[in-house]
Structure 1
Amino acid sequence: MTTSSWRDLRNEKARARLQRALPPVFPVPVLHHALARPLIPPTPRLAVESYWRAHILRADRLARALAARSGTPEGWTWQLGAEGRAGSFRMPPAPFREPAFARGQGACCICGQPVYKFGWHQDLWKRGQPNANAAWHAACVAAWKFWIAPHAQVRVLKLRQRHRCATSGKRLLRSAEVDHALPLYRVWREHRTRPWPELLAYWGTPNLQVVNRAVHVDKCRDEAAERSQTLRLSRFRVVEDESGFEVIEEA
Structure 2
Amino acid sequence: MSEGSTSPGSSWRDTRNARSRARLDRALPAIFPAPVLQHALSRPLLPPTPRLAVESYWRAHILRADRLARALAARSGAPAGWTWRLGTEPGLAASFRLPPSPYREPAHGRGRGHCCLCGQPVFRFGWHRDLWGAGQPNKNAAWHSACVTAWKLWCAPAEQVAVLKRHQRHRCTESGKRLFKTAEVDHRVPLYRVWREHRDAPWPELLGYWGAPNLQVVNRVVHVAKCGAEAGERAARRRAAVAPVPADPFSVDS
Fold conserved (TM > 0.5)? Answer: yes
Q: Indicate which of 129, 139, 144 corresponds to 2:146.
A: 139
User: One-letter code of the match for 2:174?
Assistant: T
1:233, distance to aligned residue in structure 2 (A):
1.3
**Partner Cα distance (2:24, 2:199) in 1:** 45
1:83, distance to aligned residue in structure 2 (A):
1.9
Q: 1:64 maps to what in 2?
A: 70
**Partner Cα distance (2:46, 2:38) in 1:** 10
Is 2:69 aligned against 1:75? no
Q: 1:22 maps to what in 2?
A: 28
RMSD: 1.6
> Percent of pairs identical after alignment?
69
User: One-letter code of the match for 2:223?
Assistant: H
1:171-203 Cα offsets, whole Å, 9 max, x none, are 000000000001000000000000000000000
Is 2:14 aligned against 1:4? no
1:236, distance to aligned residue in structure 2 (A):
3.6
Q: 2:134 maps to what in 1?
A: 127
**Partner Cα distance (2:246, 2:215) in 1:** 41
User: One-letter code of the match for 1:48?
Assistant: V
Q: Indicate which of 170, 195, 201 corresponds to 1:194.
A: 201
Q: 2:182 maps to what in 1?
A: 175
Q: Indicate which of 213, 216, 220 corresponds to 2:223.
A: 216
1:3-24 Cα offsets, whole Å, 9 max, x none, are 1110011001000100000011
Report the TM-score when normalising by structure 1.
0.95
Q: 1:207 maps to what in 2?
A: 214
Instruction: Name the SS for the 1:202 alignment partner.
Output: coil
**Partner Cα distance (2:246, 2:109) in 1:** 45
Report the TM-score when normalising by structure 2.
0.93
**Partner Cα distance (1:238, 1:87) in 2:** 33
Is 2:113 aligned against 1:114? no
Is 2:149 aligned against 1:164? no
Is 2:101 aligned against 1:94? yes
Q: 2:44 maps to what in 1?
A: 38
Change (3 A) 1:240 1:70: farther
1:232, distance to aligned residue in structure 2 (A):
1.4
Aligned residue pairs total: 246
Q: Indicate which of 132, 153, 164 corresponds to 2:160.
A: 153
> Please, which runs of 5 or more residues in structure 1 have no aligned partner?
none
> Please, which runs of 5 or more residues in structure 2 have no aligned partner?
1-6
Instruction: Name the SS for the 1:153 alignment partner.
Output: helix
Q: 1:227 maps to what in 2?
A: 234
Instruction: Name the SS for the 2:119 alignment partner.
Output: coil
User: One-letter code of the match for 2:147?
Assistant: C
**Partner Cα distance (1:76, 1:83) in 2:** 15
**Partner Cα distance (1:241, 1:218) in 2:** 39
Going by fraction, where is strand more abundant, 1 or 2?
Answer: 1
**Partner Cα distance (2:245, 2:103) in 1:** 41
